[in-house]
Each structure stands twice: as structure tokens, then as C-alpha cells.
Structure 1
Amino acid sequence: MEHTLLGTTLVCQIAMIVRDVEKATHRFAELLGVPAPTIIMANEDGSDTVSYMGKPTQGRVNLSFFHMENVVIEFIEPTDDPSTWKEFLETKGPGVHHIAFKAKNKMLETAAKLEKFGFPLIQNGNKYAYVESTDDLGVILELLDID
């Protein structure tokens, strides 16, 4: 799939920003008839180096993941740390935040290509990068450095 700037057409995740991750997680589990996954606080220990709009941030966030047959559904409740998640909730309210593509070993290289395409890097950590594509696509794109 080298003809795509993303290097792939595999969507691996769709993520929603919510005000209450516990409520959303339990309601979605109830809807699906499955056990609710564990809710975690990402980067609680500060081990991930997170940058938002070019500045360091703690980047903590409350998450749950539903591993569906074909994609992962992620629920995100922002903390008070500066982040794209917090900005999204404050400016738009709950909703679809991003669609993630698998970018194994090429996350920053792909992000640089997308920047030239007009989708600037807005936030990144050790294993992910978000590019601002909302004006053109209606959603942020995430590049995930995962297997």
C-alpha cells in the first residue's frame, strides 16, 4: 500500500471522547452483551514523553478499549492535562475524536509526509501521533506504532 501517504489502508481503531469513561464503557458493554473492559489511566507514571502543540505535557487520559472483530473502539475521558482530548471536549463536546491507522515503525516518517500534505502534527507520544485533518476530513487521524 505504498501509494497511500499513510502507508496502509488498515483502520485499527476508532476513538470517542466522552465526559464519563466509566459510564460510556459500562453502557457500551451492556449494549454488546460483553464484560466491561478495565478502565486505565494512560501515562499515569509519566513514562511516555507526550507533546501537545509542540510543548511537553503530562498527557494523562482515562481509557477503555473494546476489541471488536475488525477494529478497536476506544473511549477517552480527558484529564486536566493540556491535550487534544481536553481541547476536543471543551470545544466540541463528546464525539468521534480520531480514526487510527497502523503505522508500524514509520509513525514519525508518515507524520512528516502528512504535514507536507497539509495535516500538521498536533500531539504525539512514544507510540502514537495525531495529525490535524478535521477541516478536510471531519476527524483527526492517528498513526499508531503497533504490530
Structure 2
Amino acid sequence: MENTILGTTLICQVAVIVRDVEKATRRFAELLGVPVPNIIMANEDGSDTVSYMGQPTKGRVRLSFFHMENLVLEFIEPTEDPTTWKEFLDIKGPGVHHIAFKAKNRMLETAAKLEQFGYSLIQNGDKYAYVESTEDLGVILELLDID
């Protein structure tokens, strides 16, 4: 549905903040009876330009991804870098952090529309943007610049 502010109604990812990404990844793989996916340290090399609350940050985070039939489930373990992920864990503890929508070639344009809608940009990198929507929706919205 291209007439939505998001440009789509398809949720492509759900992300969960955890204290121990190895444990969460291993246990979820056991639950599903699938191989344990790799755990990566995102932005370890600093190649992604990350901004949190308008300020630059290294934005490193430990991640694993489960490619389900209908979406990707992401487990996120924050580092000490200032990020929305660390803030979430520090304040709320583990839980669902965001749901994501594809916004290929229109990520910042869509973020600007969401800003007008009342959801401010809180963090972004080269391929993603988070907008603060928890007061209304109980979850952050992510825009992914992917196909």
C-alpha cells in the first residue's frame, strides 16, 4: 500500500534487545531446531556513520538474525556505545525494541514524513533510521534502506 506514510504495510523485521546475544541466539535456535546463526559485531570497523540523538557515536552492537518464513527476527546486545539499544536495555531491560519496514531509496524522506506525523528521528546509520513512536505504539519504528 503505497498510500501509507511508511510506503508499505509489510513488517520485515522484529528486533529484541537482550543482555546476552549468545544465550538468546542459542536458545532460540534450539527452540526452532535450526542451526545457530553467526553473531556479528556491527560497525566494529567504524564504516557506518551512526548518529544517536543528533550526536555521532560508534554505534557498535552485537547481533544475530533468524530468517523466518515471514520476517527476520533480530537479537541485539548493546555495547557501552551511546545508542537507542543501550538506552532501552538500561531503562526497560530486555524486550522488543522495534519493528522494521523496508524503505528502499526513501529512508530519510519517510523519516521526514514521520517527523511531521509526530515521530522524531532518534538514531540513524547509513542503511537504517529509528523514529520514536513508543508513546503511541509501544515500540520504535525502523526504516531499512534495503530491497
Separation (CA, whole Å) in 2 of partners of 1:23 and 1:93: 16
Q: Report the Cα distance in structure 1 between the residues aligned to 2:44 and 2:127, rounded to whole angstroms.
A: 16
Partner Cα separation in structure 1 for residue 44 and residue 109 of structure 2: 27
Alignment partner of 1:112 is 2:112: yes
Counterpart of 1:38 in structure 2 is 38
* Structure 2 unaligned regions, length at least 5: none
RMSD: 0.4
Alignment of 1:5-84 (within 5 A): 5-84=5-84
Partner of 1:89: 89
Residues 95-147 of structure 1: CA distance to partner in whole angstroms, max 9, x if unpaired? 00000001010000000000010000000000000000000000000000001
Whether 2:142 is the aligned partner of 1:145: answer no
Residue 7 of structure 2 aligns to a residue whose secondary structure is coil
Q: TM-score, normalised by structure 2?
A: 0.99
> Following the alignment from structure 1 to structure 2, what is the Cα–Cα distance between the partners of residues 104 and 31?
32
Q: Where do 5+ consecutive residues of structure 1 fail to align?
A: none
SS of the aligned residue for 1:114 comes to helix
Amino acid at match of 1:122: I
Normalising by structure 1, report the TM-score. 0.99
Q: Alpha-carbon deviations, 1:78-97, whole Å to 9, x = none?
A: 00000000000000000000
Q: Give 3-state SS (helix, strand or coil) of 1:126's partner.
A: coil
Displacement, 1:2? 2.5
- Residues of 2 paired with 1:5 and 1:128: CA distance? 17
Distance 1:38 1:57 in 2: 24
Q: How many angstroms does 1:10 deviate by?
A: 1.2
Secondary structure of 1:56's counterpart equals strand
How far apart, in 2, do the equivalents of 1:61 and 1:112 lie?
25
Amino acid at match of 1:59: G
The aligned amino acid for 1:72 is V
Instruction: Please report how far the alpha carbon of residue 3 of structure 1 lies from its aligned counterpart in structure 2 after TM superposition.
Output: 1.6
CA distance in 2, matches of 1:32, 1:103: 29
Task: State the number of aligned residues.
Answer: 147
Q: Residue 38 of structure 2 aligns to which amino acid in structure 1?
A: T
Structure 1 consecutive aligned stretches of length 4 or more whose deviation exceeds 2 Å: none
Aligned to 1:98: 98
